[in-house]
Amino acid sequence: MGQISQNVAADHKGQQHPIGLYLKIWALLFILSGLSYSVDYFNVEGLMRWSLIIIFMLLKAGLIISVFMHMMWERLALLYLIIVPPGAILVLVALMVLESDYVHLLRMTFLGGAG
Amino acid sequence: MARNNHTPSEKTPAPIGRHEELLTDWASDREAFKNVSWGKSMMWIFLLSDTFIFGTFLTGYMTVRMTTTVPWPNPSEVFALTIGGVELPLVLIAIMTFILISSSGTMAMAVNMGYRGDRKKAGILMLVTALFGLSFVSMQAFEWTKLIHEGVRPWENPFGAHQFGATFFMITGFHGLHVSVGVIYLTVVAIKVLKGDYERRGDYQIVEITGLYWHFVDLVWVFIFAFFYLW
């Protein structure tokens, strides 16, 4: 009872977190952006490049969603509503990757390699 | 007991696990998103639909890039700028990234100030965010102008695969449109905050809802930056 009334009281005032937290996340995002830019600047190539780009991208996205958009303090019902459906896009990505060789060959065969 | 505002039939506010809470939230016949105002849940649902738009754009880009028979232009070179005699790869894009992140930072502070009831600081921080957004759009306009002068079109370009122009203009254009709309949205809400329109209700959640939109625009740029410019 006591805990719940506290939660409700907090909800009425909205999301209140110390300013320092936002500043720290801001600094982290700057560092991560600098790191992902340096991947290009120092010409990192191949698998290393792609994995670094994806790691930095996911870390940045995670920080923005969970702290700046307050998702880590929201209820699971809202979190799953937002996080689960975009999984369908990953299915589309997988399908397109599977088809890509075939489409590439079609273009070579019927478009004479142009485009 | 306060939770019973939503479900009067429920009697047990006993502590439950998060997954159990998820089940009871969805199983209750009144509202699934407890303590979340309609404004906030609608903004999230809108952002979810926008995620699908950008997600499918980026998937389309991936598809043409994987299937094209002509080499893809090297974005590191296409977007390089020569400053003081030194050619810097992607330098403008990097600056745009830092600007957008900074705007997200000021937006987060504005939300915080709004909930603290400091409406002057909240409004000013929102206007600062809008200014960052405006400078982002201006740099994008510069980028577009440069590329158009170099002969990049949606149907052809001098650097390689023709689809480069189509995906570039479509993805960055749609994102730029979101930033521009966000600047207008932020300015309107900031003016209302500064005028004290929300003072009577004492409810500054509108700042957080506007912030959700703005952070989303930044979020989309994180993905565009990674997949379009860095890949």
Average pLDDT value for residue range B55-78: 92
- Chains A, B: CB contacts within 8 A come to 182
Q: Does A31 touch chain B (CB under 8 A)?
A: no
Per residue in B95-153, pLDDT (tens digit) is 999 999 999 999 999 999 999 988 999 999 999 999 999 999 999 999 999 999 998 99
Q: According to the model, what pLDDT value does residue B11 have?
A: 60
Per residue in B161-216, pLDDT (tens digit) is 889 999 999 999 999 999 999 999 999 999 999 998 888 888 889 999 999 999 99
The number of folded domains in chain A is: 2
DSSP 8-state code for residue B5: G
Residues A70 and A39 in one domain: yes
Per residue in A41-77, pLDDT (tens digit) is 888 888 999 999 999 999 999 999 999 999 999 889 8
Q: According to the model, what pLDDT value does residue B189 have?
A: 95
Residues A6 and A62 in one domain: yes
ipTM of the complex: 0.86
Contact B115 A76 (CB under 8 A): no
**Shortest CA gap A21–chain B (Å):** 10
- Residues in A closer than 8 angstroms to B11, CB to CB, are none
Contact B69 A113 (CB under 8 A): yes
Residues A68 and A97 in one domain: no
Residues A70 and A26 in one domain: yes
Q: Does A100 touch chain B (CB under 8 A)?
A: yes
Per residue in A6-15, pLDDT (tens digit) is 444 344 467 7
Q: Does A21 touch chain B (CB under 8 A)?
A: no
Strands (E), chain B: 81-83, 86-88
The beta-carbon neighbor of B69 closest among A1, A13, A115 is A115
Assess if residue A29 is contained within a domain.
yes
Assess if residue A79 is contained within a domain.
no
Distant-in-sequence contacts of A5-9, Cβ < 8 A, 24+ apart: A5/B1, A5/B2, A7/B35, A8/B2, A8/B3, A8/B35
Residues A92 and A58 in one domain: no
Contact A86 B52 (CB under 8 A): yes
Residues A113 and A64 in one domain: no
Band (pLDDT 50/70/90 cuts) for residue A28 is: very high
Question: What is B37-230's CATH number, 2.30.30.60, 1.10.10.60, 1.20.120.80, 1.10.3720.10?
Answer: 1.20.120.80
Per residue in B86-96, pLDDT (tens digit) is 888 888 999 99
Residue with tokens 């189509």: B166
Q: What DSSP letter does each residue of B43-92 carry, written as one string?
A: HHHHHHHHHHHHHHHHHHHHHHHHH-SSPPP-HHHHT-EEETTEEETTHH
Contact A33 B97 (CB under 8 A): yes
pTM, entire model = 0.86
Assess if residue A58 is contained within a domain.
yes
Residues A8 and A63 in one domain: yes
Q: According to the model, what pLDDT value does residue B15 have?
A: 75
Q: What residue segments make up the domains of chain B, in order of their start? A: 1-35, 37-230
Q: According to the model, what pLDDT value does residue B108 have?
A: 94
Band (pLDDT 50/70/90 cuts) for residue B10 is: low
Assess if residue A80 is contained within a domain.
no
Band (pLDDT 50/70/90 cuts) for residue A114 is: low
| Domain containing residue A94 | 85-115
Q: According to the model, what pLDDT value does residue A9 have?
A: 39
Residues A64 and A13 in one domain: yes
Tell me: pLDDT of B54 over 80. Answer: yes
Band (pLDDT 50/70/90 cuts) for residue A2 is: very low
